[in-house]
Structure 1
Amino acid sequence: MLAERLARDAGRRVLIVDRRPHIGGNAYDCYDDAGILIHPYGPHIFHTNSREVFEYLSRFTEWRPYQHRVLASVDGQLVPMPINLDTVNRLYGLNLNAAELDAYFASVAEPVTQVRTSEDVVVSKVGRDLYRKFFQGYTRKQWDLDPSELDASVTARVPVRTTRDDRYFTDTYQVMPLHGYTRMFQRMLDHPNISVMLNTDYRTIQEFVPWQHMIYTGPIDAFFEYRHGKLPYRSLHFEHRTHATTQFQAVGTVNHPNEYAFTRVSEFKHLTGQRHEHTSVVYEYPRAEGDPYYPVPRPENAERYRAYEALTRTRPDVTFVGRLATYRYYNMDQVVAQALTTYRRLHPRPAETAAEPEPV
């Protein structure tokens, strides 16, 4: 987004450098050997309440409506996730209505004086049993930590509903790029001021390519050569499989909070709407080592990040954006919003008054 804005709106020359062999980062998609459009780095589902973000991306893609649904495998059943009225009724053999479910949650919730951890968030809302069935095992696999050891923000992201609404998200805009994310990125970067260099570590060329300002999206601790020690990240291993059937599971994603080493299985045809005689799915296995995906939200990690953040003020020639460079868990729409806000800060003048193109 920043490359597109700087090139198209500000008239700057931009060089994008990526160590991977493709554009798009983790949102990159492609066709597998079976001809099915997949997300190699796990499912990426677009949703936002921001009209600005939606309208900006709409310049580069058409959309298909898609409302993501998730089931969780619990006690031998597949039940809706987030927890809703149907989840509770089916698990416990009840016949509650919405008002009665509110009272039920109140009856099983454990009072917490001050909500500090992910465990506090859940048990104070829905009690200990639902916490164990849906959150404790999943969190331990995902983070290799108990929810009691993680910041409240981790489980606060997952709502609990008293209605039968089984959509995973409730945002105003819930869509997928009609022809995929990579096609959208290709259109975004289709500008004469933009050059792309793949399979390249920026550190190997920064002394040989003239530049005035760098926008850095990698891990912030790596940029500063781990001066304050490594920031912990969680990684993922993806196991892709193709099945000789038109559909593998009933919804886009099935969570497995308690069984198996993987956390979830996603089927891409639900997301993309593609029609094909076969189907492809991906199993996600959390890992301690590998490409960094998730900053680990704990107080000591936030403190270490602040030490790195202080170092960024010594580098006015570099702007740090994105999940890894700011050590925050962002959804895709939040990254787009951050990029647009950053652009306005970097280039507050209207495009028509911009100076002559300069290297970036």
Structure 2
Amino acid sequence: MFNYIVIGSGFAGSVIAERIANVLNEKVLIIEKRNHIGGNCYDYKNKDGIIIHKYGPHLFHTNYKEVFDYLSNFTDWNIYHHRVLAFIDGKKVPIPFNLNSLYLTFPESLAKRIEEKLLKKYPYNSKVPILDLKKENDKDLRFLADYIYQKVFLNYTVKQWGLKPEDIDPEVTARVPVFIGKDDRYFSDKYQAIPTEGYTKIFERMLNHSNIKLMLNTDFKEVISIDFESKKIYFFGQEFKGKLIFTGMIDELFNFKYGYLPYRSLDLRFETVEKEWFQEVATVNYPNDYDFTRITEFKHIHPASTEKTTILKEYSKQYIPNKDIPYYPVFTKENQKLYNRYKEEAEKFENIILVGRLAEYRYYDMDDVIKRALEVFEEKVR
């Protein structure tokens, strides 16, 4: 019946399925382990009328016009600029740490001296990775770097990843740089917006096609088996000669034959608070205090007319297979080597295509995943 089977209904799988249905006019089956579509981007309205992101906050931002235009086929947008504060030594300062943060943190004379040295060394509105700033020889810049490292990065990174910043791939630590400017927005991308009706509506429209069939509440291993010797794939016991687009954990696809790839998971605790607002901005990070990493208040993201508010406290933890949700691949050289073994295994199959954060063991943002899925469709599916 199908020439294409997609495992997973997050953005990676849904975008490719939509393209197969609309561009190729072919039938495609999506197999989804959960009881809903949308993967970790799934959201819903709670009883107070507030749109809640079930698996943690998802903020859309991109510089890729083609990605924004593509998603605009399935949603209208509310312009939204995300702002984050960090609770440091009893004060809340903008993150990424910028020139406004500098003056909120230090005496004016010291802040002014450091600002002059920063602007002499770096272009205005530039971004400097914290590990680069730590290499400075100037005592004031080194003082600033050490302060930011200790107060903003170190403990947050340890809580989030279970590793020190030096032990994790620079791709991760560079995601939250020191900003040499006064823009308090968390992102600087050209397109920053939130889907007017939430993310789930995007997926519903994306997958609303007669060529797309869905199997929810189904672990792919229940209906698909792989013969690693003959390199054949079986669907309900029959050989499947079409393309299998896989967006799940690559180590699970190959029955963990080389061992488990490490991931970080989250313990998400939602609370309804009996007041109109809980905090000043959508997200406040707690690098040094408490066990949670951050608190998000969803009314800042999706405005709602209610006297109550809903917040989310996030506790990062080690992923336990078959128990937790794998949110983030853990980027170290050792883990990359293990992933490469699985990738080489997948390349032996002519009809397996890997795409997405878990399948490619990459820290993709939403726009990166969508862009990647569109590219993979053109390069390997079409």
TM-score, reference length from structure 2 = 0.85
Aligned residue number for residue 140 of structure 2: none
Alpha-carbon distance in structure 1 between the residues aligned to 2:161 and 2:86: 18
8 Å CA contact 2:355–2:373 kept in 1: the answer is yes
**How many angstroms apart in 1 are the aligned matches of 2:156 and 2:132?**
15
Change in CA separation of 1:96 and 1:321 when aligned onto 2, cut-off 3 Å: same
**Residue 296 in 1 paired to residue 330 in 2?**
yes
Secondary structure of residue in 1 paired with 2:266: strand
Question: How much does 1:35 deviate?
Answer: 2.9
CA apart distance, 1:151: 1.8
Give the whole-Å Cα distance in 2 for the aligned partners of 1:159 and 1:119. 6
Tell me what 1:266 maps to. 296
Q: Which amino acid aligns with 1:133?
A: K
Counting aligned pairs with the same residue, the percent is 45
**Which amino acid counterpart does residue 367 of structure 2 have in structure 1?**
D
Q: Structure 2: how far apart are the matches of 1:104 and 1:204?
A: 58
The match for 1:358 is none
Q: Tell me, yes or no, if structure 1 residue 49 matches structure 2 residue 63.
A: yes
Structure 1 residues 258 and 100: CA distance shift in structure 2, 3 A: closer
Aligned position for 2:184: 166
- Partner letter of residue 188 of structure 1? M
Structure with greater strand share of residues: 2
Contact 2:295 2:314 in 1 (8 A): yes
Letter in 1 for 2:294: R
From 208, 223, 226, the counterpart of 2:236: 208
In the TM superposition, what are the counterparts of 1:114-153 in structure 2 within 5 Å?
120-121=131-132, 123-124=134-135, 126-153=144-171
**What is the TM-score of this pair, normalised by structure 1?**
0.90
**Distance of 1:209 and 1:253 partners within structure 2:** 48
Q: Could you tell me whether the CA contact under 8 Å between 1:99 and 1:162 is conserved in 2? A: no
- Distance (Å, rounded) in 1 between the aligned partners of 2:372 and 2:310: 33
User: Structure 1 residues 299 and 105, CA, compared in 2 at 3 Å: closer, same or farther?
Assistant: farther
User: 2 CA distance for matches of 1:209 and 1:196?
Assistant: 19
Shift of 1:226: 1.0
Q: Which residue number in structure 1 is paired with residue 254 of structure 2?
A: 224
**Alpha carbons of structure 1 residues 291 and 250: separation in structure 2 relative to 1, 3 Å:** same
| 1:291 aligned partner, one-letter code | I
Q: Deviations over 1:204-232 (max 9, x none)?
A: 11231864211111110111111111110
Q: Show structure 1 runs of 5+ residues with no match.
A: 108-114, 349-360
1:34 deviation in Å?
2.9
| Pair 1:238-2:268 in alignment | yes
Q: Structure 1 residue 62 and structure 2 residue 80: aligned?
A: no
Cα distance change, pair 95–21 in 1 and its aligned pair in 2 (3 A): farther
Matched residue SS, 2:153: helix
- 2:305 corresponds to 1:305: no
1:165-201 deviations in Å (ceiling 9; x for gaps): 1000010000010000001110000100011111110
Deviation at 1:100, TM superposition (A): 5.2
What does the per-residue CA deviation read over 1:83-141, in whole Å, with 9 as the maximum and x for residues that have no partner? 1111111111225788951515889xxxxxxx9xx873452375211110100000000
Alignment of 1:86 onto 2:100 = yes
Instruction: Tell me, in whole angstroms, the C-alpha distance in 1 between the residues paired with 2:202 and 2:338.
Output: 36
- The unaligned stretches of length 5 or more in structure 2 are 1-14, 122-127, 137-143, 225-234
